[in-house]
A and B are shown apart, each in its own frame.
Chain A
Amino acid sequence: MINLYLPLTYDKINSLEIFQEVRLNGELFVARDQAHKRIFDLLDSNSELPFDIKNQTIYYMGPSPAPKNYLIGSCGPTTSARMDYFSPRLLDIGLKAMIGKGPRSKQVIDSIIKNKGIYFTAFGGCGALYNSKIIEVSTIAFEELGPEALLKIKVKDFPCIVAIDSKGNSVY
């Protein structure tokens, strides 16, 4: 078990290997399909992104509504493959890590090698478990997308497994 503190830099991840269990701590961003599309629209029009992506981590997730007295609802990972089209360009401009579930395309793996990034798999369907690991939530942009809005969250002991390491080794 390895504790990692966000934001991640290459020196924190270069020795990580596939299948290793890690616990993430700190701030990261939440975005899924439509938020990625919006980020691409902003990049295409040379507009500023709503957050500085350098060394950041994106979690592919769209939560269910927060019940009373909770910060957020169920919040497990969504299928990463749907973000494959978007990831290489985001890695090129500074994104360091991605969290989701399931395999990635060859293009994403190549981009991870090129940009010295990393991909973690969270445990699919475990939305109540991940709820208990989130200690702060704020909406950063695209609020009108509802469950697909861009969020910033703070996590504590957020469990995942290294699925593609910075050398491009993959568990899939």
Chain B
Amino acid sequence: METFVNRLKKALIKSSIELDPSIINLIKRAKQRENGNTKQSQASLVVLSSILENLELSKTTKIPMCQDTGMFDVFVDIGRENKSNLATIEAAILKACSLASEEGNFRKSVVEEPVFDRNNTKTNLPPIITYNLVDGNDITVNVLLKGFGSENCSSLRMLNPTASKQGVIDAVLEIVKLAGGKPCPPICVGIGIGGTMERAAYLSKRALIRDLEDNNSDSRYRELEKEILDKINQTRIGSGGLGGITTALLVQIEQEPTHIAGLPLAVSINCWADRKATIIYKGHLYD
């Protein structure tokens, strides 16, 4: 259990100060595309340069790239052949989140209840944990440090079953336009389509977690991802909301079966600080 806790803790702390190189490359590409021909584009260039400077600084000083170190949003995929005790996995995750918060100087951003006193738990716990069974023998843990500037812009629509592709595109664009400059663009967009209401929301987070190199298995959805990304970048919300060329860095979709009467669609928005921690554990966790 100690190895598991230690590896997850380290991955969490690292994710708060370093982005995955694939995301950094997308930010660099966005900077190259910004031509500086307009005031909007010049201001967006300043934002993108500042983001890259910030990433250099957070890596060297170990100060989190963003003060909102988020809420731990944990997705656990357990191989059906893995013999671990689920309660032990849970305990290990809680311990890793707690240690990462302390040692990584994460902001304590979680309150006990949402409406009345909103007292801070002072631990950054509890995390949100979702368990999922998969084929194989490993335990894969993916954690989003989910900042709420962007999460507040996430949304869900229950579309008509006949809405088709255009209905999906329109709904996503409506959500992104409503978010405007609030979620720290350039943004990452995870889209969940199908299932039930809560399953679509879950899928939208799985879409954010998905590795950039793992393409959607259905070519029609891959095309749809590209088309939505292009359309979002035509909105000219721009980096920092200042009107430049790049509004979104990536769009990823996860789709699943749904009911004949519906087309649930959820959009999870992440800021450019697309912080993810992943560990693949090949052992079994017992008490």
Contact = CB atoms under 8 A, between A and B. Distances in A.
B68 interface: yes
Interface stretch (B49-57, B195-203, B205-213): B49-57
A147 B109 contact: yes
A128 B68 contact: no
Contacts of A21: 43, 46
Nearest to A159: B50
Given A63-B67, A76-B66, A131 B109 contact: no
Interface string B64-76: 1111110000000
Main secondary structure of the interface of A (DSSP, over half): loop
A103 B65 contact: no
B182 interface: yes
A74 B182 contact: no
Interface string A1-34: 0000000000000000011010000000000001
Contacts of A74: 58, 63-67, 69, 107
A140 to B, nearest CB: 19
A13 B125 CA distance: 44
A160 to B, nearest CB: 10
A161 B238 CA distance: 14
A125 B270 CA distance: 11
Interface stretch (A50-58, A64-72, A89-97): A64-72
Nearest to B275: A125
B66 A125 contact: yes
B65 A127 contact: yes
A171 interface: yes
A161 B53 CA distance: 17
A81 interface: yes
B28 interface: no
Interface stretch (B162-170, B239-247, B256-264): B239-247
A63 B62 CA distance: 15
Nearest to B50: A123
B268 to A, nearest CB: 17
Main secondary structure of the interface of B (DSSP, over half): loop
Contacts of B183: 79, 102
A77 B183 CA distance: 11
A117 to B, nearest CB: 19
Name the residue in A128, A145, A161 with the highest tally of chain B Cβ atoms < 10 Å from its Cβ.
A128
A129 interface: yes
A74 B68 CA distance: 8
B273 interface: yes
Contact of B54 (A66, A123, A145, A161): A123
Contacts of B241: 101-103, 121, 171-172
A64 B240 contact: no
B67 A123 contact: no
B61 interface: yes
Given A127-B58, A172-B180, 4 more contacts: A125-B184, A125-B273, A128-B57, A161-B43
Interface of B: 17, 39-40, 42-43, 46-47, 50-51, 53-55, 57-58, 61-69, 105-109, 118, 120, 122, 147, 149, 152, 180-184, 240-243, 271-273
28 contacts: A34-B118, A61-B67, A62-B68, A63-B67, A64-B67, A70-B63, A73-B63, A73-B107, A101-B182, A101-B240, A103-B241, A123-B51, A123-B54, A124-B149, A125-B54, A127-B54, A127-B64, A127-B67, A128-B17, A128-B61, A128-B64, A129-B53, A132-B57, A147-B108, A159-B50, A161-B43, A171-B43, A172-B241
